[in-house]
A = this chain, B = another copy of it.
Amino acid sequence: MYPDHTIQEIDQIIAKSQQAFYQYKNTSLKERANFMRAIALEIEALGEELIKTAVEETHLNENRLYAERKRTIFQLNSYAEAAERGDWLEARIDVGNVAATPPKPDLRKMLVPLGPVVVFGASNFPFAYSTAGGDTACAFAAGCPVIVKAHPAHAQTSTLVTKAILAAAKKCQLPDGVFAHIYAADIEKSAYLVKHEAVKAVGFTGSYTGGRALFDLATQRKQPIPVFAEMGSINPVFLLPDKLKKDYSWIAQQLSGSITQDMGQFCTNPGLMIGISSEALELVVKELTENIKEVVPGKMLHKGIARNYVNNMQNAISQRRVEVIYQSDYKMGEEDGVITLAKVGAQHFLANPELHEEVFGPYSLLVVCKNREEMLEVAQKLNGQLTVSLMGTAEDLTTHETLLSVLREKCGRFIMNNVPTGVAVALAMQHGGPFPATTDSRFTAVGADGIKRFARPVSFQNWDNEFLPDELKNENPLNIWRTVNNGLTKKIINDK
């Protein structure tokens, strides 16, 4: 529907983006925030057309898409607020003293934007983690122009959102190079984008294969650049014995909802459950199965995802000693999600790396352990995860101290008596875990701390006050929090 941009066009787009950087990086925090708020308004103004287009392209239902649009707008507005608040700048000032021996230099440090950022959006979040989604909002807040590579599965939706962003840029009198939208179904063109000298960072949400490929390209450049790839996860849920006994029905209810919501097409879908063999565990399985039987399977995002899901799921359940507990009916070639629940013994899970891979869709595997030691072994063997959840009582936590210590090393978000789905947009959110969950566990893809992905510190030494950025001037004109001589304060600095 949209022909690919040519390499020549891509070169021009990037050159324009780089030019825009020299203007956009000097905008004030307030100007950036206003731009982001203007984008939110323009997206809202797209009205039903946007929702209808997305329903057609993604098979997600209207309610979900209304909610996702709301989330997207909330993200833009709340990151705008965070950008303006300025905590993310990590302003530090060590006031100089020429009279000291040796003279103490005046040092003032803050984060500055990296440069043009390329964003590859997610198939499963056509608004919130796509064209004007979290990565784009964070990059704009940091002061970086953005180049979005249109997701082929919702290119029309993406094109509509692009119009909204460009309209906002115009209203805010920003250069139109501040945002660009590239059609590039050819993967060589994605590679070209990531390898381009003027591109300074990459945001990506998608598969391990895609994320790893971009990461490799970016790190093997002459000048390597950071890639923030969120590559999904199997989000283990540990069912501890005391909680299991006391609350199996509630656990079953929580898990069935989380596994099947939107056909399991979340990076936080609970793809793994771990419990110790017991009567209570059997009761959970029974109720979980009953609950899941009630769920009517819906269409998956697109044919490619449905096909991949069936392949991966079939591969998983054909592994040695994996037993299917429940599976919804299906015929090959259908786009409906095939809800599947399976189980396997811990030793077989430990021995088989295939079972540690994500199966993106409505699938979850129960690992049955003989005892607490085996459960600990499973924990130790886990790959890096976006989330690890525990269902446990105070008694459970006290008796599983080592397990807790091991699991903290495996995840970015450590959840107690909650399911992993539902990623709140909040400053204290961490959406990023040890590899292979993400390529850089030191940063988050959700929440305003994500702004820091696209910035780096510069220290200004011995500058006259008038030539310093406002953020670092003695009089603190932006009234931001700064660490002055090692103490956090909003106070002004008395010039000597």
Binding site for B on A (CB under 8 A): 22, 26, 81-82, 85, 87, 90, 92-94, 102, 104-105, 107-109, 112, 115, 215-216, 219-220, 223-224, 226, 384, 394, 397, 405, 408-409, 411-418, 422, 424, 426-430, 432, 434-436, 439-442, 444, 449, 452, 455-464, 466-467, 481, 483, 486, 488
* Given A94-B424, A408-B458, 16 new contacts (CB under 8 A): A22-B405, A81-B486, A92-B449, A107-B424, A107-B428, A216-B220, A224-B439, A412-B459, A413-B460, A414-B460, A417-B462, A430-B457, A434-B456, A442-B457, A449-B457, A481-B488
| B-chain residues with CB within 8 Å of residue A449 when the two chains form the complex | 90, 92, 109, 457
Contact of A109 with B430 at beta-carbon distance under 8 Å, contacts A394-B464, A414-B458, A462-B418 already known? yes
Closest 7 CB pairs of A and B: A430-B459, A107-B428, A219-B219, A92-B428, A94-B428, A94-B426, A415-B461
| B413 engages A85 (CB within 8 Å) | no
| A422 engages B223 (CB within 8 Å) | no
| B418 engages A461 (CB within 8 Å) | yes
| B-chain residues with CB within 8 Å of residue A414 when the two chains form the complex | 458-461, 463
17 contacts between A and B (CB under 8 A): A90-B449, A92-B427, A92-B428, A92-B449, A102-B422, A107-B429, A109-B428, A109-B430, A223-B384, A223-B436, A224-B439, A394-B467, A412-B459, A413-B458, A416-B467, A429-B459, A430-B457
- Cβ-defined partner of A435 (8 Å) among B115, B220, B224: B224
Contact of A416 with B226 at beta-carbon distance under 8 Å, contacts A109-B429, A427-B483, A428-B94 already known? no
Chain B residue nearest to A411 (CB atoms) is B458
| B-chain residues with CB within 8 Å of residue A486 when the two chains form the complex | 81-82, 85, 427
> A82 vs B92: C-alpha distance in the bound complex, in angstroms?
13
| B-chain residues with CB within 8 Å of residue A26 when the two chains form the complex | 405
| B-chain residues with CB within 8 Å of residue A460 when the two chains form the complex | 413-414, 416
Q: How far is the CB of A338 from chain B (nearest CB, A)?
A: 28
Q: How far is the CB of A429 from chain B (nearest CB, A)?
A: 6
> A226 vs B422: C-alpha distance in the bound complex, in angstroms?
29
| B-chain residues with CB within 8 Å of residue A432 when the two chains form the complex | 457
| B-chain residues with CB within 8 Å of residue A109 when the two chains form the complex | 427-430, 449
- The residue among A85, A409, A481 with the most chain B CB atoms within 10 A of its own CB is A409
Q: How far is the CB of A220 from chain B (nearest CB, A)?
A: 8
| B-chain residues with CB within 8 Å of residue A488 when the two chains form the complex | 87, 481, 488
- Cβ-defined partner of A428 (8 Å) among B108, B226, B408, B413: B108
- Cβ-defined partner of A441 (8 Å) among B397, B413, B422, B456: B456
- Cβ-defined partner of A416 (8 Å) among B397, B434, B462: B462
| B-chain residues with CB within 8 Å of residue A112 when the two chains form the complex | 408
Contact of A219 with B223 at beta-carbon distance under 8 Å, contacts A416-B464, A459-B428 already known? no
| B-chain residues with CB within 8 Å of residue A457 when the two chains form the complex | 412, 430, 432, 442, 444, 449
| B223 engages A104 (CB within 8 Å) | no
> A483 vs B90: C-alpha distance in the bound complex, in angstroms?
13
Contact of A463 with B416 at beta-carbon distance under 8 Å, contacts A22-B405, A434-B223, A486-B82 already known? yes
> A434 vs B114: C-alpha distance in the bound complex, in angstroms?
9
| B-chain residues with CB within 8 Å of residue A466 when the two chains form the complex | 394
Chain B residue nearest to A460 (CB atoms) is B414
Q: How far is the CB of A118 from chain B (nearest CB, A)?
A: 17
> A452 vs B488: C-alpha distance in the bound complex, in angstroms?
17
Q: How far is the CB of A25 from chain B (nearest CB, A)?
A: 8
> A243 vs B348: C-alpha distance in the bound complex, in angstroms?
74
> A300 vs B462: C-alpha distance in the bound complex, in angstroms?
31
| A105 engages B424 (CB within 8 Å) | yes
> A452 vs B109: C-alpha distance in the bound complex, in angstroms?
15
| B-chain residues with CB within 8 Å of residue A416 when the two chains form the complex | 460-464, 467
> A92 vs B446: C-alpha distance in the bound complex, in angstroms?
14
| B-chain residues with CB within 8 Å of residue A428 when the two chains form the complex | 92-94, 107-109, 459, 483
